[in-house]
Amino acid sequence: MASTMKNPINLSIGQPDFDVPDPIKKASIEAIEQGKNAYSMTQGIAPLRERIQADIDRRFQHPDRQVYISSGTSGGLVLSMLAMVNPGDEVIVFDPYFVMYVPLIQLVGGVPILIDTYPDFRIDLEKVRSAITSKTKLVLFNSPGNPTGVTANLDEIEGLARLCQEKGIALISDEIYSGFHFDGAMRSPAEFNPDTIVIDGFSKSHAMTGWRLGYVHGPKEIIQTMIKLQQYSFVCAPTPLQWGAMAALDYDMTQHYSDYAKKRDRIVAGLRGYYEFTEPGGAFYIFPKVPSGTGTDFVQRAIENELLIIPGKIFSARDTHFRVSFAASDATLDRGIEVLRKLAT
């Protein structure tokens, strides 16, 4: 649609608007020029794994937590489902959810069990407890969240972690937006449940979405199964780009994250009083409720005003909201806010 517009206001895309930092590019270019272009070990190059493993060990101090390098966090999600979900197993997902979750569960024969979190997108632990059955295999958790940008509070994180541990249910924590956590330190359910499988990566944090570099850490038995599955599917993450990821670990992204906190403040201030929404604490999304009608109809009206946003039904059983990405220049955000204000009246 954007290609047919003369001057589109693109607040739809889920990737940072800054470029990959130069030292990271240079490290990958050097790796290519040095001939580091063959397959790597399936689990990733040793220097990268060892570096991330050391960080994980310092943070969690779990005796049985291993890491491997996945072909993007999407690759990590695919393999985690293949490793743990059998046909008929139930997987609890919080609605709204990242668009990939439900189809992926269905792909491996699982049954998605949606827990509604509207209107404020908080986790009700009693709803989770009530949703657990003898068929429940795992809970899929994402904070900061896509599409809402909402960050779970410590009570929600710890409560969910301990509930899964109590019930003997696997817990996957999708932490791809961990760098974009604006209001306090990022907390993980792995702090409270050592069996938590954590999925993270470089796509959002370093604008490396096209590089397909993620990593997964969790109990060794699960990780080894995922490595085996990777050998017969993705084979490995791109080798020269793994060397670039080594440079990414040393690059200070603080200013970029600070800039995005300001963008969050800009969009919140611009839409306050015009729409109902929960203020995002992370990622780079806001998920307002449409003033009337359906999200699909509202987005069509936005497109007619050259504003590209995403209807909420893509992420949800409901069609009452829309997603705005504030991963854009301030000038683009201001143009988008102007259109959204007009559409609210």
Residue 2 pLDDT grade (very low, low, confident, very high; cuts 50, 70, 90):
low
Residue 334 backbone class (left: φ over 0; alpha: ψ -120 to 50; beta: rest): alpha
pLDDT at residue 219 in the model: 97
DSSP 210-232: GG--EEEEE-HHHHHHHHHHHHT
pTM (2 d.p.) = 0.94
Task: Tell me the average pLDDT of the chain.
Answer: 95
pLDDT digits (tens, 9 = 90+) for 173-224: 999 999 999 988 899 999 999 999 999 999 998 888 888 999 999 999 999 9
- Average pLDDT in the 278-293 region? 96
Half-sphere exposure of 157 (CA within 13 A, CB side): 21
Alpha-carbon torsion (112, 116, 122, 128), positive or negative: negative
pLDDT at residue 227 in the model: 97
Report the distance separating Cα 226 and Cα 71, nearest Å: 12
Residue 1 pLDDT grade (very low, low, confident, very high; cuts 50, 70, 90):
low
Q: Percentage of the chain with pLDDT > 90?
A: 93
Angle 254-271/330-344 helices, nearest 10 degrees? 20
Q: Which two tokens stand for residue 343?
A: 């559409």
Higher pLDDT, 18 or 340: 340
- Average pLDDT in the 74-98 region? 97
- Domains of the chain, start order: 2-19+254-344 (3.90.1150.10), 38-250 (3.40.640.10)
Angle 295-304/330-344 helices, nearest 10 degrees? 120
Report the distance separating Cα 292 and Cα 319, nearest Å: 11
Q: Which two tokens stand for residue 124?
A: 């009700």
Provide φ and ψ at 221, rounded to 5°: -60, -40
* CB 197 within 8 Å of CB 222: yes
pLDDT digits (tens, 9 = 90+) for 34-62: 999 999 999 999 999 999 999 999 999 99
pLDDT at residue 61 in the model: 93
- Average pLDDT in the 333-337 region? 97
For residue 185, the one-letter residue type is A
* CB 156 within 8 Å of CB 125: yes
Report the distance separating Cα 296 and Cα 275, nearest Å: 16
Cis peptide before 96 (omega within 30 of 0): yes
